[in-house]
Copies of this chain bind each other. A is one copy, B any other.
Amino acid sequence: MTYCLGIMTQEGLVMASDSRTNAGFDDLNIASKMHNFSQPGERAFVVLNSGSLSLSQSVINLVKARFGAGEGLARVNSMYEAARELGECVRHVAELDRAALERDNYTFNLHLLLGGQVRGEQPALYMIYPQGNAICATEESPFLQLGEYKYGRPLLDRGVVFNSTSLMVAAKYALLSFDATMRSNSAIGPPIELLLYRKNSLILDCYRKFNHGDAELQAIHSRWEQSLRRAVEDLPDLRFADAPLEESAQSLLI
């Protein structure tokens, strides 16, 4: 499994990914799912991947080769064009591999998240589908997820607001979302990579990798659990009809 998350705020972007890959429960490996492409001062892109490792590697290799040759992401004029460029790379790999996979009943399974900014344009966050088309995050829906998204979503739904959530607070939400997901699904695993992109900086210099047993992550995990438990206990007691729990007398329900 995979969990990748991008959050868009007024101050910039948070991009985060786990690093567990698996081909069945008995074949676990570690591979980074975060890839960075930048020309400081001009353009900065972060790409996260989920789905088939083989397909992801092929697409990233292609994106990298084109970027290195001064094509593709090195030349796009907007985030929309950047998302289109990634979609083209996905379609190119589909031409190479899709038929062979489907012949053996494998799905062409590959999703990407793209976050970043081109100078003179606004930062943006996109999800690219296996078909090569894309959607972007909006102020009303300011985060996008890949893979095992459900466990880590309620917290984001409650807390992340485009206009008012600071970049640092969004990073905490991202980390807590990963913490919740890893707790419930053991196929999501460290290292967790976390990158903050501050709007108009046009540079990727704010990065952190949380390895297994990272002391800061464990401290946050413990403190968070304590806070949650206290918050639940501090809620007012629920009222149950006119028969308080202690004074149960007769059946109201048959």
Q: Does the CB pair A225–B158 fall under 8 Å?
A: yes
Query: Which of A54-62, A93-101, A114-122, A194-202 is found at the contact surface with chain B?
Result: A194-202
Cα A175 to Cα B240 in complex, Å, equals 13
- Shortest A128–chain B CB gap in Å is 21
**B residues near A40, Cβ cutoff 8 Å:** 250-251
Interface status of A29 (Cβ within 8 A of chain B):
no
Residues of chain B with a CB closer than 8 A to A155's CB: 154, 228, 232
A196 to B240, CA, bound (A): 9
For residue A23, CB closer than 8 A to chain B, the reply is no
Interface residues on A, range: 35 or more
Q: Which residues of B contact A249 (CB under 8 A)?
A: 203, 205
B248 engages A198 (CB within 8 Å): yes
**Complex Cα–Cα for A82 and B101 (A):** 48
A207-B252, A250-B40 known; A227 vs B223 contact (CB < 8 Å): no
Chain B, residue nearest A232 (CB) = B172
Q: How far apart are A179's CB and chain B's nearest CB, in angstroms?
A: 8
User: Is A69 located at the chain interface by the 8 A CB criterion?
Assistant: no
Measured CA separation A198–B246 after assembly (Å): 9
Contact of A159 among B159, B232, B236 (CB under 8 A): B232
A204 touches B238 (CB 8 A): no
Contact B151 A153 (CB under 8 A): yes
Query: By the criterion CB–CB under 8 Å, are A208 and B173 in contact?
Result: no
A38 located at the interface, meaning its Cβ lies under 8 Å from any Cβ of chain B in the complex: yes
Chain B residues with CB under 8 Å of A37's CB are 254
Q: Mark A35-46, 1 if CB is under 8 A from B, else 0.
A: 011101000000
Interchain CB contact under 8 A, B207 and A238 = no
Give A179-235 interface residues, CB cut-off 8 Å to B: 180-181, 183-184, 194-196, 198, 201, 203-208, 216, 219-220, 223-225, 227-229, 231-235
Nearest to A174 among chain B residues (CB) is B238
B38 in contact with A208 (CB, 8 Å): no
Within the complex, what minimum Cβ distance (angstroms) separates A254 from chain B? 6
Contact: B151 with A229, CB < 8 Å?
no
Could you jot down 18 A-B contacts, CB within 8 Å?
A36-B253, A36-B254, A38-B254, A40-B250, A40-B251, A154-B154, A154-B184, A157-B180, A158-B224, A158-B225, A158-B228, A158-B229, A159-B228, A169-B232, A194-B238, A203-B250, A206-B248, A216-B239
